[in-house]
Copies of this chain bind each other. A is one copy, B any other.
Amino acid sequence: MNILITGGGGFIGSRLAAALRKKHPDARIRLLDVGFPNPPGKSFDCTTGDLAAPEVIASALGHDTDAVFHLAAVVSGGAEADFDLGYRVNLDGTRALLEGCRKLARPPRLVFASSVAAFGGTLPDVLDDSTTPAPQTSYGTQKVISEYLVADFTRKGMIDGRSLRLPTIVVRPGKPNLAASSFASGIIREPLAGAVSECPVPDTTGVWILSPRRVVEAFVHALELPSSVWPTTRVVNLPGITLTVREMIDAMGRVAGRETAERVKFKPDPRIQAIVRTWPVRFRTERADAMGFKADPDFESIVRDHIESEKAAATA
C-alpha cells in the first residue's frame, strides 16, 4: 500500500502517520507539508513544498498511490486574515491534489479533512445530516467547496473520496495557532503544563469536540469503509461531544485539581468571538454513528489521554 498524507508534518497528520505505520508496517507512507518541525522518523518519506503547485503534488503522489489523506490547510483564523493565501492553499491546493489523483494509474481512495466550520448563519439548535452548509468564514467556504469537488471527482470515477467534517479537536499539543478554535485546547493544555491560559470567549461558549485519538481512528476508519456505504455527497459529520468552556474547565479540575482549573483567565477577544459564535455546537450524527464512527465517552478521558501522551512525548 502506498499512502500520501498532506499536512503530514502537522499534529494530526503525524499522529495519523504513526497509526498507519503501526497498522501497515510495509506500506510506503509519504508525508507532504510546507515544513516538518518534528522530523517524523526514517520510516516515512517526506516531501516539502506547496500543495497548490502541481509539480509538488505530482512528485508526492508518484504514479502508484492507493490512499490519500488530505489534511493540509491554512487554518480558520489564517484564511480569514489572508484571503488570497486561504484560497490558494485550501481551494487551489485541493484542486491540484484532485487533478494529481486523476492522473494516477488507479483512482485512489481519498479522505478529506473537512470541518464543522462548514456550518454557520442561522442554525437549528441541533444540526443533523440534512443541515445545509452556510459557512461564515472563508475557511469554511473553502472546506465546503472542496467537499463538492471531492464528490464530483468521485462521481466521475477519478477518485473514491470521503469527506469528514471534523469537530474542534481538543486537546491539541504544542503552541497556540491561528485557528479561531485554538483556545479550546489552550484552556486545557496550558494549565496542565503549569501556565496561565487566556480564554478569548465567555465560559458559556459551547464547543463540539473530538479528541486527537478519536479523529485519527476516524481517518483510518474512513479509509477502510467500503465505497458503497458512503452517500453520493461523500460527506459525513463526525460524532463528537458538546461541552461549554466551563464544563471543560470543571472536568479538567476533577482530573488535575482545582488549582489547575484556576489557571484559566478570561480575556475577551471580539475577533475570535465573532468567528466562534458562528460555529455549530450540537449535532445528531446518525449517519456517522451507523457507519461506525465513534465519539469520546466524556471529557475527563480526553484530559487523561492528553496527560498521558504529553508524558510519553517527554520520555521519547
Chain A interface residues toward B at CB < 8 A = 83, 120-122, 130-136, 138, 141, 144-145, 148-149, 151-152, 155-156, 231-233
By a CB distance below 8 angstroms, the chain B residues around A145 are 145, 148-149
Shortest Cβ gap from A76 to chain B (Å) = 13
A136 contacts B155, C-beta separation under 8 Å: yes
Among B131, B134, B141, B151, the residue within 8 A (CB) of A141 is B151
Give the contacting residue for A152; candidates B131, B141, B155, B233; CB below 8 A. B141
23 residue pairs from A and B, CB less than 8 Å apart: A120-B232, A121-B231, A121-B233, A122-B231, A122-B232, A130-B130, A130-B132, A131-B132, A132-B132, A132-B133, A132-B233, A134-B233, A135-B148, A135-B151, A135-B152, A136-B155, A136-B232, A138-B156, A141-B148, A141-B149, A145-B145, A145-B148, A145-B149
> Once the chains bind, are B156 and A83 in contact (CB under 8 Å)?
yes
Q: With A130-B132, A132-B132, A133-B132 in contact, is A138–B121 under 8 Å at CB?
A: no
**A131 surroundings in chain B (CB, below 8 A):** 132
Q: Please tell me if the beta carbons of A152 and B132 are within 8 angstroms of each other in the complex.
A: no
Instruction: Determine whether the beta carbon of A144 is less than 8 Å from that of B148.
Output: yes
| The 7 residue pairs across chains A and B that have the minimum distance between CB atoms | A141-B152, A132-B132, A121-B232, A145-B145, A134-B233, A141-B148, A145-B148
